[in-house]
Amino acid sequence: MLNYSPKRSDEPIWWSLFGAGGVWFAIVTPITVLLMGLLLPLHGLGLVDLNYDKLLAFVASPVGAVFTVLTIALPMWHAMHRVHHGLHDLKFHVGAVGKYLCYFVALVFTVLAAIWVLDLI
């Protein structure tokens, strides 16, 4: 029998974080990797003046701090949402415990990112 008046799902919260993480990881993270992973060690290829002190100053600025926390936190929410639903797909029906454990891991990374970044400011 179908439940005609189901409880409202809390999935919009998790799905929104998942969506934000996906968008961030697809659009913003590649640029970050290009800048920090390639152009920084290659000294900006002589095209841009990029160095460690400059990046550190950016991370320690208010905009840079938010950017850094989001760079770490959002893809984490995305990934843990995937893990949570992936477990169900693989028939590991771990229920609410699995769900909250997944999102707890994402929360831990978010808090740690915030602490690390605040430490730099």
Partner 1 sequence: MDKLQTVNVLRYDPAKDDEPYLEAFKVPANDTTSVQDALAYIKDNLDKSLSYRWSCRMAICGSCGVMVNKVPKLACKTFLRDYPEGMTLEPLDNFAIEKDLVVDKTPFLERLEAIKPYIIGNDRKPEDGTNLQTPAQMAKYKQFAGCINCGLCYAACPQFGLNPEFIGPAALTLAHRYNLDNRDHGKKERMKLINGDNGAWGCTFVGYCSEVCPKHVDPAAAVNQSKVESTKDFLIAMLKP
The full DSSP string for 13-66 is HHHHHHHHHHHIIIIIHHHHIIIIIIITTTGGGGTS---HHHHHHHHHSHHHHH
Residue with smaller CB distance to partner 1, 4 or 52: 4
Within positions 6 to 35, which residues make up the interface with partner 1, using CB under 8 A? 6-9, 11-13, 15-16
Q: Residues 44-83 vs partner 1: string with x where CB under 8 A? A: ----------------------------------------
- Alpha carbons 2 and 80: distance in angstroms, whole number: 30
- DSSP annotation of 46 reads G
6: three-class secondary structure by DSSP: coil
Residue with smaller CB distance to partner 1, 35 or 82: 82
Residue with smaller CB distance to partner 1, 8 or 41: 8
Q: Is 96 in the site for partner 1 (CB under 8 A)?
A: no
Q: Is 89 in the site for partner 1 (CB under 8 A)?
A: yes
Q: Is 85 in the site for partner 1 (CB under 8 A)?
A: yes
- Alpha carbons 33 and 29: distance in angstroms, whole number: 6
With contact defined as beta carbons under 8 Å apart, do 76 and 21 qualify?
yes
Binding residues vs partner 1 (CB under 8 A): 2-9, 11-13, 15-16, 85, 88-89, 91
